Structure 1
């Protein structure tokens, strides 16, 4: 295990958290977007995006053997669309309403997004703290011989 291993783990988590924060902010910004994509000749509302994160796999056979002893950090697996259905809201004055006066709204729940935003920002802050603690320990180790 390298002296920089803890920094690598924190760095990978920071990168994943940053991407998750970007996706959450995109979801919040598009919470009322009724024209997200043009599919099959009609506009479809914005569909909520989610980030899938998984453990990073070891790169070599030796690291694979030692994987039980060490953690290699995380990586973003992919960004997927939330399959929950759109919400139908009665608003006949909206230009995107159908014949019955209903508008299909995005499947973005602002409460859920705010909870995800707060937990992801707390995870980001915790990883910054862990990164700084590791960096501080390395700096202290360099001054031991003086």
Structure 2
């Protein structure tokens, strides 16, 4: 039944967006995590890559997390000579996490999750109406 397939696709979408939200939370939680010694690498922003996959049991194209990777790029530096991770110039390498980007990713994940939840709620209502009509 196509309604079951809609549930499968939406549930996969919600699961994928849940992972994305967790990664955003980790990035925000570590946005100030520097290294402990001079030259040590600070926290590097994590990214989520999605991929389409066909659910073999139902034949439904679903989304899944393909990879949780790290963002490339340089680390910003902050002048803080008393920090244990400060180099000989007094600069500390800081994480490449931009709070604005993380909040945008969080809101996009929230909208996608909400859209998938709406599909599930609508599908559930349709199934209940069908059951009521059959009892009828």
Counterpart of 1:24? 24
Give the Cα separation in 2 of the matches to 1:102 and 1:23. Answer: 28
Residues 22-46 of structure 1: CA distance to partner in whole angstroms, max 9, x if unpaired?
000000000000038x9xxx63100
User: Which of structure 1's runs of 4+ aligned residues deviate more than 6 A?
Assistant: none
TM-score scaled to structure 1, two decimals? 0.84
Counterpart of 2:43? 46
Counterpart of 1:15? 15
Distance apart, 1:58 and its partner CA: 5.0
SS at match of 2:51: strand
Instruction: Decide whether the 8 Å contact of 2:48 with 2:69 is kept in 1.
Output: yes
Equivalent residue pairs, number: 135
**Structure 2 residue 75 is the aligned partner of structure 1 residue 78:** no
SS at match of 2:106: helix
Distance apart, 1:126 and its partner CA: 1.2
User: Match for 1:93 among 77, 82, 96?
Assistant: 82
Give the Cα separation in 2 of the matches to 1:111 and 1:3. Answer: 38
SS at match of 2:61: coil
TM-score scaled to structure 2, two decimals? 0.90
SS at match of 1:144: helix
Distance apart, 1:2 and its partner CA: 4.0
Give the Cα separation in 1 of the matches to 2:119 and 2:55. Answer: 22
SS at match of 1:44: coil
Cα RMSD for the two superposed structures: 2.2
Q: Which has the higher helix share?
A: 2
Give the Cα separation in 2 of the matches to 1:86 and 1:138. Answer: 52
Cα–Cα, structure 1 residues 80 and 88, in superposed 2: closer, same or farther, change >3 Å?
Answer: same
Specify every segment of 5 or more residues in structure 2 that has no aligned partner in the other structure, as ranges. Answer: none
SS at match of 2:54: coil
Distance apart, 1:73 and its partner CA: 1.4
Give the Cα separation in 2 of the matches to 1:92 and 1:131. Answer: 54
Specify every segment of 5 or more residues in structure 1 that has no aligned partner in the other structure, as ranges. Answer: 64-70
